[in-house]
Amino acid sequence: MISSRPRRPFRRRAWTAVPVLLALGAAAACSAPASGEEPAPQVSVTPVDIKQPTSTPTLNATPVVLDSTHLTLPLDAYLLSDRERADLTTAQDMLVTRCAARYGVTLPPPPRHQQLGPRTYTERRYGLTDPVLAAADGYHLGARDPRNAGKPPTPDLSPTQALVLTGTRVTTDTPGTPDAPVQPVPAGGCLGEADRKLGGSWDNTDLVEAIDNNSVIDATKNPQVLATFRAWSDCMKAKGHHYAAPWDAGNDPRFRGPRSTPTEVAVAVADVTCKEKTNVVGVWYAVDAAYQKAFIAANKAALERARKDKATHLRLAHRARERP
């Protein structure tokens, strides 16, 4: 299995964890549509229904590739880039702040989380591919490793701030501290209002994420990819390391600790060396891209809706940032 292979950079939206944290031990507040809330077009939310490609993609040529950090894939047009995600987060923060101001509430700055995981969408998509990082930290991710990140920061909100932000009333056991006043706030608080003004939930759609995941996994069943895996395994065996497929090395239970070990570094360096010798990344990437093209062709209408939804989110975010 390759489920533990890092696939996407770990990006947290600024305020999204707050409602979950506040919900622990909290009672639901009365929420009502606010007169100051402006309607915005809402994107469609539909269950994942992937149409499979009608034929197995074939390759005419494959690139010679080792470092996968900056590779691009056909599905990128439907995925949020880091810049687009940052623009949406900024717009959300601005909308929340303006909403809270209508109630005379000043919120603390939104929590900023450390960026964890791979630096790009493709950095670890085909396993470890950077010889410098392999020699420095094995399969670990240094300062970006989620295993060493600690708990995310939790904002210290008063009951009134919590009510206005999330639409949830928080009670307190501190003597002399009044509960948040009951007052009409937008459904879901200012966070709910901000999301609606951005067209609804603006993360990557389930369909796009599912295709993104399926293409790279389906590619591992392709005969050309399997041939390179066997060559990689033979190369690793010659260096004293016994793994059937590239992800087996990174998923070795011995390497799950908080820090890399000399054994892990030795295996990681051999892994990258054998990937370069057998062109695992080049072949896997080419087949992955071919499968994505086939999935896109088979799901053209649904993906076009996803692309339009993404454009709607970004247009509304631009409008929110431009307005005073």
* Segment 18-74, tens digit of pLDDT: 543 444 333 333 333 343 333 444 343 444 688 888 777 777 788 999 999 999 999
Question: pLDDT value at position 16?
Answer: 55
Given a cut of 90, is residue 181 above it in pLDDT?
no
List the structure tokens of 265: 């570094």
CA 175, chain centre distance (Å): 42
Residue range 102-106: average pLDDT?
92
Given a cut of 90, is residue 317 above it in pLDDT?
yes
**Residue 32 burial (C-beta neighbours within 10 Å; 0-12, 13-18, 19+):** exposed
Q: Which residue has the higher pLDDT, 24 or 193?
A: 193
- 3-class SS letters over 81-101: CHHHHHHHHHHHHHHHHHHHH
Residue range 293-297: average pLDDT?
94
Residue range 308-314: average pLDDT?
94
pLDDT digits (tens, 9 = 90+) for 225-263: 999 999 999 999 999 999 999 999 999 999 999 999 999
Greatest distance between any 2 Cα atoms in the chain: 74
Question: pLDDT value at position 184?
Answer: 84
Q: Which residue has the higher pLDDT, 171 or 61?
A: 61
- 3-class SS letters over 267-299: HHHHHHHHHHHHCHHHHHHHHHHHHHHHHHHHC
Domain residue extents for the chain: 18-38+65-322
Q: Which residue has the higher pLDDT, 275 or 5?
A: 275
Question: pLDDT value at position 324?
Answer: 65
For tokens 């995941």, what's the residue?
Answer: 213
Question: pLDDT value at position 195?
Answer: 93
Assess contact for 176 and 301: CB atoms under 8 A.
no
Question: pLDDT value at position 18?
Answer: 54
Q: How confident is the model at residue 183 (pLDDT cuts 50, 70, 90)?
A: low
Question: pLDDT value at position 1?
Answer: 37
Mean pLDDT of the chain: 82
Question: pLDDT value at position 156?
Answer: 83
Question: pLDDT value at position 169?
Answer: 79
Q: How confident is the model at residue 300 (pLDDT cuts 50, 70, 90)?
A: very high
Question: pLDDT value at position 110?
Answer: 79
Question: pLDDT value at position 60?
Answer: 74
Dist. CA 258–CA 125, nearest whole Å: 21
- 3-class SS letters over the chain: CCCCCCCCCECCCCCCCHHHHHHCCCEECCCCCCCCCCCCCCCCCCCCCCCCCCCCCCCCCCCCCCCCCCCCCHHHHHCCCHHHHHHHHHHHHHHHHHHHHHCCCCCCCCCCCCCECCCCCCCCECECCCHHHHHHHCCCCHHHCHHHCCCCCCCCCCHHHHHHHHCEECCCCCCCCCCCCCCCCCCCHHHHHHHHHCCCCCCCCHHHHHHHHHHHHHHCCCHHHHHHHHHHHHHHHHCCCCCCCHHHHHCCHHHCCCCCCHHHHHHHHHHHHHHHHHCHHHHHHHHHHHHHHHHHHHCHHHHHHHHHHHHHHHHHHHHHHHCC
